[in-house]
Chains A and B, each alone.
Chain A
Amino acid sequence: MEPAKVASDPVEIQVGIADYKIGRDPARLITLGLGSCVGVSLYDPVLKLGGLLHLMLPDSTQFSNVTKPAKFADLGIPLLIDEMKKHGAQLSRLQAKLVGGAQMFSGLDNKMVLNIGQRNVEKARALLKDAGIPILAEEVGGNRGRTMIFDTSNGKVSIRMLGSKLKVI
Chain B
Amino acid sequence: MSYRPLSPVELDALKEIGNIGLGNAVTSLAQLINRRVNMRVPRSSFLPFEEMIELVGGYEELVGCVSLRVLGDAPSIVLYIFDKESTFHLVDMLMGLPVGTTGELDEMAQSAIKEIGNVLTGSFVSAISMMTGLKMITTVPLFAFDMLGAVLTSLMVAAGRVEDQVLVIETELFHNAETLIKGHFFLLTEPGAIDRLMAALGFSEGQGS
> Does B143 belong to the interface (CB within 8 Å)?
yes
- Nearest residue (CB) in A for B2 is A65
A155 to chain B, nearest CB (A): 23
Binds B, one of A21-29, A74-82, A106-114, A132-140: A106-114
CB contact under 8 A between A111 and B69, given known A33-B148, A102-B154, A162-B60: yes
B158 in complex: contacting residue of A65, A106, A114, A144, CB < 8 Å: A114
> Does A16 belong to the interface (CB within 8 Å)?
yes
A36 to B147, CA, bound (A): 12
Binds A, one of B134-142, B177-185, B201-209: B134-142
Interface string of A82-110 (1 = CB under 8 A from B): 00000000000000000000111111110
Neighbouring B residues of A53 by C-beta, 8 Å: none
B contact residues, total (Cβ < 8 Å): 35
The reply to whether A33 and B143 contact each other, CB–CB distance below 8 Å, is: no
Q: Which of B44-63 contact A (CB under 8 A)?
A: 49-50, 53, 58-60, 62
> Does B159 belong to the interface (CB within 8 Å)?
yes
Interface string of B127-169 (1 = CB under 8 A from A): 0000000000001111110111111111101110010100000
A112 to B158, CA, bound (A): 5
Q: Which of A9-42 contact B (CB under 8 A)?
A: 16-17, 32-37
Neighbouring A residues of B139 by C-beta, 8 Å: 109
The reply to whether B158 and A113 contact each other, CB–CB distance below 8 Å, is: yes
A contact residues, total (Cβ < 8 Å): 37
Neighbouring B residues of A109 by C-beta, 8 Å: 68-69, 139-140, 142
> Does B1 belong to the interface (CB within 8 Å)?
yes
Q: A: which residues have CB within 8 A of B?
A: 16-17, 32-37, 56-57, 63-65, 67-68, 71, 102-109, 111-114, 116-117, 143-147, 160, 162
- The 3 A-B residue pairs whose C-beta atoms are closest, nearest first, are A33-B149, A145-B150, A35-B150
Q: B: which residues have CB within 8 A of A?
A: 1-2, 49-50, 53, 58-60, 62, 67-69, 110, 114, 139-144, 146-155, 157-159, 162, 164
* Extra pairs beyond A33-B53, A67-B164 (11, CB < 8 Å): A17-B153, A32-B149, A34-B150, A35-B153, A37-B150, A63-B162, A105-B142, A145-B146, A146-B147, A162-B60, A162-B62
